[in-house]
Amino acid sequence: MSYEFETLNNIYKPLYDYVKTTVDRLKSCGYKCEWGYYNYHYIRRNNDWALEYFPIPVIEVNGMCDIGIDLNHIFIEYKLIKKAALKYDFKKLKKYKFEIYGVEEYLDDFYNENMDFEGIKGRIDKSEETTIGISIFLNEKTPFEQILEVVKLIEESYFERVAIKSLQESSDKNYSFIIGKELNCIIDRPLGSFHPKHKHIKYYVNYGYVNEYKALDNEEQDIYLLGVDEAVNRFEAVVIAIIHRKDDIEDKWIIAPKGISFTDNEILRNVMFQEKYFDIELYR
């Protein structure tokens, strides 16, 4: 038993140290991170899939991507809706080793190093997948700066597909009646909770609704509460922006405590954990 204990400790202690340092540095760059140990990861060995029964540390970054610290490599995984994947410039990934696959059938590749690069979008287009997974692989000793470079690349891929519009640009959407209005909000999905149906979606901000207004689905208007870093049940805050989902019936209102402002990218970073699954516009 002593031998096994020492062997496992010698393996896991460097992984733990690496993860703690990486999490601390990501947080210092403004990212919300959580991590834990997870098993049952598939890896490719000699062109065949192999299942890892042992746990490895995985960092979840803003609900945007996962960073896995494996024994002999690092992987960074993220997802795109199919529509976004068909518009995505995959040439940005050519400097890395990467794979593209379906989320439902994740062992079926749209791209790996043995496949034709130019055929990526054709294979995606012909598939029935609605969400596309991408994994980028790095050396196990990759310095933090390179990990941050990939995280920013992924973040920019979300930012680039969101149209930022002013109220003056909106010919068919009239949001001027609500921007700047102070509302009393009820929070039914507090920070740290999970989506009631889609259990993989964790709320990195408080999410709730306002009773005074109805959305187009005839339910109370949903809101994201930014700038409050603890779980709350109710909060009075000001509407600072509107997210319009082009592929859904609902809009989402962005609210924040009076006097606190956010840039466009700061808003998108805070709501990306859920809005990445939709085709959205941001109105301010």
Q: Using an 8 Å Cβ cutoff, are 89 and 121 in contact?
A: no
Can you give the pTM of this predicted structure?
0.88
Whole-number pLDDT of residue 1: 64
Rg (CA), the chain: 21
Segment 239-255, tens digit of pLDDT: 999 999 998 888 999 99
Whole-number pLDDT of residue 242: 95
Segment 222-244, tens digit of pLDDT: 999 999 999 999 999 999 999 99
Average pLDDT value for residue range 16-21: 96
Q: Using an 8 Å Cβ cutoff, are 151 and 65 in contact?
A: yes
Whole-number pLDDT of residue 104: 85
CA dihedral 19→22→23→25, nearest 10 degrees, is 160
Segment 147-182, tens digit of pLDDT: 999 999 999 988 988 988 877 665 567 788 899 999
The pLDDT mean for the chain works out to: 91
User: What is the rounded distance in angstroms from the CA atom of residue 233 to the CA atom of residue 223?
Assistant: 13
User: What is the rounded distance in angstroms from the CA atom of residue 197 to the CA atom of residue 85?
Assistant: 25
Pairing of strands 109-111, 48-52: unpaired
Q: What tokens does 56 get?
A: 């490895």
Whole-number pLDDT of residue 49: 80
Q: If we measure between CA atoms, which residue out of 250, 19, 277, 43 comes closest to residue 137?
A: 43
Calculate the alpha carbon distances from 178 to 8, 108, 137, 172, 175 in Å. Answer: 57, 46, 45, 15, 6
